[in-house]
Structure 1
Amino acid sequence: MRVPLLLGATTAVIVLSACGAPQARQDGASTAGRTFEAALAAGDFRAACGLLAPGSREQLEEDEKKPCEEALPSQELPRGGAVRSVEVYGRQALLGFRDETLFLSQFDDGWRVTAAGCVPEPGDEPYRCVLKGA
């Protein structure tokens, strides 16, 4: 009798743990994306650059031949508007706003924006992005 009870309790703990983990990742990705958008809206390009993934920041600086804080304003990224959806797949996330989609990755120190200013594209390419990593 104890084995089924123990198995049932263990299963419940595993299921509840699994349900909590995706929500925590969704919340983390959503917070990082909203913070990135707020920094852009406030003109705080230093903070926005701090939320970019290393590869995305390096690509921007290489393309523009300037530090991120100087290069980011010239990208004319759309303001996302209200959050419409958050999709997390492991350590990758899509944050859908009213007017754009952000792509994020989870690093050891938190979520970072890998691509911004993304809009759906018909055909083979699913999104066209203003800012993206290498």
Structure 2
Amino acid sequence: MSTPLRAAAVLVVAASLSGCGASAAREGGASSAGHRFAAALAAGDYRAACGLLAPETRDEMEEDAKGPCGPALRELGLPPSGPARGVDVYGNDALLRTAGDTVFLSRFDDGWKVTAAGCVAQSTDEPYRCSLKGG
């Protein structure tokens, strides 16, 4: 199972088992990273957006595109994010929902990084399908 799919499964299980969410600081950190990623994409600043990707996500995208991150990210044509609808954080994983996209993030030593974007929910029994995802 790929990282975004595992993350989605972990978030669903954690949400159903836990009555408590993440701290406001962790939610704010994940949300901020997701919004910085979306803002960089909207501004056409693919260098900044690439800097916000998790290493495995960036590596997989560059391998699939057979080229550097910036042009590969531009070619994906990820949807504009729009206004935030909510963020769920459990442990080191987060799911940020916006009007136009669903973004998965993970917390690393240097902060929150995008592990998947351009994600669309499938049926309740299926994981998200993501345009950008890491191993």
Which category describes the TM-score, using the shorter chain as reference length?
Answer: 0.7 to 0.9
Q: Is 1:24 aligned with 2:25? A: yes
Displaced runs of 4+ in structure 1, greater than 2 A? 123-126
Stretches of structure 1 lacking an aligned partner (at least 5 in a row): 1-18
Q: Is 1:107 aligned with 2:104? A: no
Render the CA deviation track for 1:26-79: whole Å, top value 9, x for unaligned: 000000000000000000000000000000000000000000011100001001
Q: Secondary structure of 1:125's match?
A: coil
In structure 2, distance between residues paired with 1:104 and 1:130: 14
Stretches of structure 2 lacking an aligned partner (at least 5 in a row): 1-19
Report deviation, 1:99: 1.5
RCO comparison, higher one (Cα < 8 Å, 6+): 2
Percent identity, aligned pairs only, is 62
Q: Is 1:98 aligned with 2:99? A: yes
Match of residue 57 from structure 1? 58
Render the CA deviation track for 1:1-50: whole Å, top value 9, x for unaligned: xxxxxxxxxxxxxxxxxx9x711100000000000000000000000000
Q: Secondary structure of 2:23's match?
A: helix
Q: Is 1:87 aligned with 2:91? A: no
TM-score after normalising by structure 2: 0.82
Q: Secondary structure of 2:72's match?
A: helix
Match of residue 127 from structure 2? 126
Alignment size in residue pairs:
115
Q: Secondary structure of 2:49's match?
A: helix
TM-score after normalising by structure 1: 0.83
In structure 2, distance between residues paired with 1:69 and 1:131: 13
